[in-house]
Amino acid sequence: MTPFFIKKIGIDLGTANTIVFVPGKGMVINEPTVVAVSVDDNKILAVGNEAREMLGRTPDTIIASCPMRDGVIADYRVTEAMLRYFINKTTGSLRIFRPEVMVAVPAGITSTERRAVVDATLNAGAKAAYIVKEPVLAAIGAGIPINEPAGHMIIDVGGGTSEVAVISLGGIVAWSSARVGGNKLDAAIAEYLRKKYNLAVGERTAEEIKIAIGSALPQKNEKTFEARGRDILSGLPKNIVVKCNEVTEAIADNLREIIQTIKTVLHDTPPELSADVMDKGMVLSGGGALLKNLDQLINEATGVPCYLAEEPLLCVAKGTGIALEHLEIYKRSIMSKK
């Protein structure tokens, strides 16, 4: 399929990463949700991977920032420029058709925020914008038959938010979200190192530590990671060795918040659907789901089996692809077209 003939695009506009999915082709773009803007003339200089390289390394004249906070648009103009960049990169700038675009949004989005996403998508060059709630798309992408009259529970742990929902007959029956995701875990690790070792590390280093040795439960055989940063007292560069269980301790409070959100949803779920969830278990998706032993921690805390979805990071994006391919089936149940 040449870029010019792409008519449908699914976008998972995440706080940390933006993933673009084209039905029939699969994932075509997976880049960080970061934009670099010049201070003087407010011009967009770089988007995605290129802009991420600039994070924490820019001079005064350039600001590299994430236009999405906690899963919603914090900077409208920058988000529109970013959507335009991703749509053009997918379809080519010489496109014959304006594509239909489906964008994933948090379940708790307000009508004003929803409108902002629709406007940004249409202004970025879409013919039609479909806005669908993330937990529903994550469930579709994880292979859950959402249109059945049975309760399915999805836990989507993203970069900015963790969303928990029980879905039945294509709609959300009970849901809750916590503003805790991968970014908060990174911040907690950085804060822990600052307090315990007087070491200042950047977000990227904290994320590397989390990915390399992070675990939701304490481990017997501890892995270690050599972290580099700046000594707060002397101001000089310094190396320390971080242990796996220190990371577990650092992120424990944030994980407790996610568990509490899951318990709230279980509490609000009608009894019939609760029985289904107990029977089928909960499905864990999103980039944050890749934290080691998170499924085990949730299982221990709630007593309900918890399973990791296949390719958890891509669930929402895959869901947009499936929903776009079968637009007529899903149109009635999951979305309002704007």
Q: What is the 3-state secondary structure (H, E, C) of 130-143?
A: EEEEHHHHHHHHCC
Whether the pLDDT of residue 1 is over 60: the answer is no
Whether the pLDDT of residue 246 is over 60: the answer is yes
Same domain? For 241 and 165 the reply is no
Q: Work out how many domains the chain is built from and give that number.
A: 3
Flag whether 261 is marked binding: no
Q: Could you report the per-residue pLDDT of 89-100, keeping only the tens digit for each?
A: 888 766 778 899
Flag whether 17 is marked binding: yes
CATH of the domain at 155: 3.30.420.40
**Residue 285 is which amino acid?**
S
Helix (H, G, I), strand (E, B) or coil at 175: strand
Predicted pLDDT at 337 = 44
CATH of the domain at 211: 3.90.640.10
Contact assessment for residue 78 and residue 37, using Cβ atoms and an 8 Å cutoff: yes
Q: Could you report the per-residue pLDDT of 99-140, keeping only the tens digit for each?
A: 999 999 888 788 888 888 899 899 988 999 998 989 999 999
Q: What angle do CA 138, 287, 134 make, to 5 degrees?
A: 25
Flag whether 137 is marked binding: no
Flag whether 171 is marked binding: no
Question: How many other CB atoms sit within 10 Å of the CB of residue 299?
Answer: 17
CA 6 to chain centre: 25
Predicted pLDDT at 108 = 79
Q: Could you report the per-residue pLDDT of 11-61, keeping only the tens digit for each?
A: 998 888 899 999 888 889 999 888 888 888 878 888 888 888 887 788 888
Q: Which residue has the higher pLDDT, 252 or 325?
A: 252
- Cα–Cα distance for residue pair 55/182, rounded to 1 Å: 17
Same domain? For 172 and 216 the reply is no
Q: Could you report the per-residue pLDDT of 193-211, keeping only the tens digit for each?
A: 999 999 999 888 999 999 9
E strand or H helix at 38: strand 35-38
Q: Could you report the per-residue pLDDT of 219-243, keeping only the tens digit for each?
A: 999 899 999 999 999 999 999 999 9
Whether the pLDDT of residue 153 is over 60: the answer is yes
Q: What is each CA distance from 145 to 138, 142, 324, in whole angstroms? A: 11, 9, 16
Predicted pLDDT at 296 = 96
Same domain? For 153 and 234 the reply is no
Residue at a domain's end among 208, 233, 250: 250
Flag whether 216 is marked binding: no
- Cα–Cα distance for residue pair 198/284, rounded to 1 Å: 35
Flag whether 210 is marked binding: yes
Dig out the tokens for 233 from the structure: 């007292």
Residue 144 neighbours by CB under 8 Å, 6+ apart: 152, 154, 167, 283
Q: What is the mean pLDDT of residues 137-166?
A: 93
Predicted pLDDT at 263 = 96
Flag whether 281 is marked binding: no
Instruction: Please write down the long-range contacts of 237-240, taking CB distance under 8 Å and 24 or more positions apart.
Output: 238/199, 240/193, 240/197, 240/199
Q: What is the mean pLDDT of residues 297-316?
A: 95
Residue 30 is classified by DSSP as E
**Residue 133 is which amino acid?**
K
Whether the pLDDT of residue 256 is over 60: the answer is yes
**Residue 74 is which amino acid?**
A
Contact assessment for residue 261 and residue 178, using Cβ atoms and an 8 Å cutoff: yes
Residue 116 is part of which domain span? 3-137+315-337
Flag whether 300 is marked binding: no
Same domain? For 200 and 98 the reply is no
Same domain? For 30 and 155 the reply is no
Whether the pLDDT of residue 72 is over 80: the answer is no
Same domain? For 77 and 109 the reply is yes
- Cα–Cα distance for residue pair 9/135, rounded to 1 Å: 19
Predicted pLDDT at 334 = 63
Flag whether 71 is marked binding: no
Share the mean pLDDT of the chain. 89
Predicted pLDDT at 338 = 41
Residue at a domain's end among 250, 278, 300: 250
Same domain? For 246 and 265 the reply is no
CA 51 to chain centre: 18
Phi, psi angles (nearest 5°) of residue 321: -65, -45
Q: Could you report the per-residue pLDDT of 269-284, keeping only the tens digit for each?
A: 999 999 999 999 999 9
Same domain? For 189 and 284 the reply is no
Q: What angle do CA 73, 75, 77 make, to 5 degrees?
A: 110
* DSSP class per residue in 101-126: EEEEE-TT--HHHHHHHHHHHHHTT-
Flag whether 160 is marked binding: yes
CA dihedral (260, 261, 267, 271) positive or negative: negative
Contact assessment for residue 75 and residue 15, using Cβ atoms and an 8 Å cutoff: no
Same domain? For 18 and 98 the reply is yes
Predicted pLDDT at 215 = 96
Residue at a domain's end among 231, 250, 269: 250
Residue 43 is classified by DSSP as -
Q: Looking at the chain, how many residues does it have?
A: 338
Same domain? For 21 and 88 the reply is yes
E strand or H helix at 313: none
Predicted pLDDT at 166 = 96
Flag whether 15 is marked binding: yes
Same domain? For 246 and 259 the reply is no
Residue 5 is classified by DSSP as G
Q: Which residue has the higher pLDDT, 24 or 292?
A: 292
Flag whether 243 is marked binding: no
Same domain? For 225 and 83 the reply is no
